[in-house]
Amino acid sequence: MTKNQKLETIVPQWLENSKMRVKESTYVKYVNLTSNHILPLLGDIEADRLTTDTIEQFIQSRLNAGNNKQGKGLAEKTVKDLLIVLKDICRYAALCDVDIPCRFELIRVRGNDSEIQVLDKQTQLRLERFLMRDVYNLRKTGILLSLCMGLRLGEICALRKGQIQYKEGILQVRSTMQRIQNFNAEVDWKGRENRKTRVIITSPKSACSVRDIPMPQFMMERLERLKTSDDDVFVLTGTSKKFIEPRTYENVFKRYLMECNMDIVNFHALRHTFATRCIERGFDVKTLSEILGHANVNITLNRYVHSSMEQKRKWMSEMTLGVMY
């Protein structure tokens, strides 16, 4: 590789190298980030001109107007992923004796992500009553797994009976399900791609996401109704031959919300709600972080746990002059 390589030449080689060392779903994400954002804006720039200012301007442009479909900025998480990818591309380039002068440690991503969705206590109670009415409904059981144990959508869809240790009262999170782009899609007799995407089941998103969670008593009793000796059956369907993919299951959740005459929220609001209620009840952050499968406690504090106005009023009402001075 020559020293005056453009990024558009380096990226394909980096992708080929990455394909051998990352999960398939991660590789698909890399392809999307590079093809949709990095190459269109930075691909024609030579490596030695990728300065800190250049990358910083790129990052800011993605925060301000990175979503072409909606004319809005990209989510902060997506922009952070872009920065991680660029940093790894530069690391690879350096191994190939190509110097990229950007100092990534000086770049900070500060976006304007919308406030996370958390169910208020009355809404949560209404949803819980709706879900608990039908104890044999496996799809409703799955929603309770997120609301009362903090599981992610993909983790619930991939959950099998063998991951439920009834004797120990433990639920083992060992896999996740997601739909990814299919780069090897077959072509039908009319020359059309049969499958542009496909569903895969893999290990969770990180090592910390592989975890054992103690089950509340009511959840153990509910899961015991999954009467089968086959450890391979999916919890959401009760069979090993059929699963419910995350996109479909999120639509099921939205239908339940409409049945309850509730405002539509995304599925992840259940996990946000679980984390928020745990903090309100006095969970120590380290314990909660491990239950949620976070890499460190800062993620739990900064991304998922936000104090409600009710909590703020409670603590402020206890402030007196005698306490403060």
In SS3 terms, 23-36 reads as CHHHHHHHHHHHHH
Cβ contacts of residue 130 below 8 Å, gap of 6+?
A: 140, 256, 259, 260
Q: Which domains does the chain have, with CATH numbers?
A: 7-106 (1.10.150.130), 121-171+210-311 (1.10.443.10)
Which candidate, 239, 218, 244, places its Cα nearest to that of 228?
239
91, HSE (Cβ side, Cα atoms, 13 Å): 10
User: Per-residue pLDDT tens for 141-182?
Assistant: 999 999 999 999 999 999 999 999 999 999 999 999 998 887
Say yes or no to pLDDT of 82 above 70. Answer: yes
pLDDT for res 325: 45
Say yes or no to pLDDT of 295 above 90. Answer: no
pLDDT for res 194: 57
pLDDT for res 128: 95
User: Per-residue pLDDT tens for 22-68?
Assistant: 888 899 999 999 999 999 999 999 988 999 999 999 998 898 876 65
Q: Which secondary structure element, helix H or strand E, spans residue 307, and what is its range?
A: none
pLDDT for res 121: 93
pLDDT for res 108: 83
User: Per-residue pLDDT tens for 225-284?
Assistant: 887 789 999 999 999 999 999 999 999 999 999 999 999 999 999 999 999 899 888 888
- Alpha helices in 34-75, H assignment, sequence order: 39-42, 52-65
